[in-house]
Structures are given as C-alpha cells and as structure tokens.
Amino acid sequence: MKGIGLAAALVLAGVASAQSVTVTPDNAAKLRQVGAEVLFWSQAQRDQNFREMEKIFPGHVVKAGGKVRPLPAGKPLPIAEADVKAAMADLNVAGLIVVQDGKVRLERYGLGYGPEGRWTSFSVAKSFTSTLVGAAIRDGYIKSIDDPVTRYIPDLAGGGYDGVTVRQLLTMTSGVKWNEDYTDPKSDVARMFSDDVPAGQDPTVWYMKRLPRESAPGTKWVYKTGETNLIGVLVERATKKTLADYLTEKVWKPWGMERDAFWMTNAAGSEVSGCCLSVSLRDYARMGLFALSGGKGVVPDDWFAHATTNQVPLPKDEGGFGYGYQWWTVPGGRFAAIGIFGQSIMVDPAKKLVVVMSGSWPAATGEKLSVARAAFWGKVEAAADK
C-alpha cells in the first residue's frame, strides 16, 4: 500500500533533536536535517529510538487519568507459538497484543520494549487526529465536516484550498496537487518543513497554501500527510486547545488510558498531527476498543460508522483497501490505523477483536512485509473463532 505512513521526512523536519534544544533562527536548518534523518536511521537506531522518541524530540504530554479501563486476561488465543515467534522475528515486532471482547488473549514484547514503555505511532496518529474532529463537532467547535476549510483556517484562502471542505481533508480528496515520494528530496513530503517560513506564519498553512489544484475537490484520492497536519491546525484553532490537551480531555482520561502519551511538536510548538504520537501497547489497544465502541458521548453517534468505512474510490493497486476519515478500510469488514515501519491497530467489529502491532521494520513500507502482516492477522482471526 502506497503512502501508508509517510511520516518522518515531512512531519519530523523542523523539530528539535534533543530535549534541551530549542529551535532558533540560527539552528533551525540543522535541526530540520536531524529530523529528516529518521527515515534513514539504521536498524539498531530504529530499535532503540522508536521506544524513546521523547528523549530525542520535544513534544506535549497527553495525560492519563486516575481510573484505568481494565484489560483482564481472557482465554489464551489458540495460535501456534511457532507462528507467533515467526511473526515477531520476520516483522521485527516490538509489541503484539490481541484483545477480544475486551479481554487480552495474547500479549508479547521484544526489542527492549515492555508494558511500561511507549512506542512511536507514525501515521497511526492520523486516526487519533480524525477522532478529535469528531469530538470537536459534537462539542460544537466545528459545525459540520461539509464546512469549507477556510472557515476555520482563513489564512488558507486564496490558494488551492478555496472551496475544499473538512470532509475532503479527512478523506484526502481535496484535489490539491501533492507528491508523497519519500525518496525524492524535492517532493512535498520532504520539503514541507524544510523551506524557510516567514515570521508569524504557521509552517503547515504557509506551505499548503502555495500548492496548486490538480483536480476538482472530491474527485481524486491522493495520500497527503500534509493534509492531516492541516486537520490538526483546524482542530487546534477551532477548539483553542492543543491537540494533546484535547485528546487528554476527550479520550485519554474518560476512556481510562493507563499511561501518559507523548505527542511530538514542530518548530511552531504545535503537535505534528499526521504522525509522532508515542503510546503504550495496551493504550493502543484501548484506542481500538474506543473506535469499536463508537465513542459514545465523545463523537457524534454515527461518527465511527462513517470514519471506518470506505468513503472514496482508491486506485486498484491499493489491494482492496479503502479509506474513510483517516482510517484504512480492510477487506472483510475490518478497519485499521496504519503507520510506517510496522505500526498498526486492526479492528474486526464482527469478532469484537483488536490486534495491535508495534514494530521496527527494516523498511518504511514494502509489499512483502505488508503481505506477511496480513497473513498473520488472518491466523489471529482464525484462532479467535476457536
């Protein structure tokens, strides 16, 4: 699947390289270069740093509450241990958890990761960000996803986003031209935060406003991490709250997340909403359960029914996958949040099943790796019927 997690070159550029470092005009270019190098870390660096992003980059804390939603042990999943070990090795898995009917049926860790730690999400964060749009609609901060984006981000006016709706941002069908090629240093995903930004301008808005229109809004799907970053700007401006604070308020505390999460910030001090949320394995599973529950009382009653079903026609080379509101739809009535280097939350509503995998793949994406993950999902689902 092309574009399943794009993250680093786009979203990490412009952030500080250590906790004590502050972005200044003098060091900004160097820090952007350090951020972009995430895509090119060695395997040893990935294995180490994906569980310690808060030690490398600045960010905001998503705070857990005092009451934790329990995840009791369930009947052990009747899956061959050899299959589990093979998947852990072949997919370089750091964390694997299978929850069915709210109970843990399988849980494994590797690569120095454990229940007390956090692992980066890459584009899994997109599904968290879209959920905040639903919350903002229910809270009255956003009137409708059919509102024009420029109602909430007026400084986008006069560019390719004129006439584009919030819905079209959520479904990545704005019609604005975008290049998401990780290997091309001149692509939008590589340049978005590398260009100098005039003083007082939001870096995401400033870059996205300059992009040309290539098709009518709503007619063509193109995966654009930059548009998820715009969604973050939209939510932040509509609610007048940081994304971390709003996620704390709407999901983390009321849903009973167990541990604080960490959301990386860009040079402007805003969360990188298309990426870069670090969460514990069990709390990723709780997010899957939140989506499975429909998010009653947090998002509109029909939000997840729409967010997790295919909203747009995708190219044939996407392997039968579809796209909702920043969630991938998976053949067989399933849906998933997916990020590069092996991050995923897969939900099967019919089986009341959530499967989370945190990993450190040897490549950001790859057909063989994706096929191997899907095959393991299949083994888990077959075992879940027993």
User: What would the two tokens of residue 141 be?
Assistant: 């901060």
Rounded distance between C-alpha atoms, residue 38 and residue 41, angstroms: 5
Q: Which of 177-181, 237-241, 307-311, 328-332 has the lowest mean pLDDT?
A: 177-181
User: Please, what are the domains in the chain?
Assistant: 8-384 (3.40.710.10)
User: What would the two tokens of residue 310 be?
Assistant: 């295919």
Is residue 9 very low, low, confident or very high in pLDDT (cuts 50, 70, 90)?
Answer: very low
Q: Which residue has the tokens 């852990």?
A: 88
Contact 79, 385 (CB under 8 A): no
pLDDT in tens, 245-282: 999 999 999 999 999 999 998 878 899 999 999 999 99
Alpha-carbon distances, residue 50 vs 39, 224, 281 (angstroms): 11, 23, 13
Q: What global pTM score does this model have? A: 0.91
Residue 35: predicted pLDDT: 52
Q: Which residue has the tokens 């995923």?
A: 344
Beta bridge partners of 106: 98
- Mean model confidence pLDDT for the chain: 89
User: What would the two tokens of residue 356 be?
Assistant: 């989370």
Cα 208 to chain center, whole Å?
19
User: What would the two tokens of residue 169 be?
Assistant: 């941002």
Contact 283, 121 (CB under 8 A): no
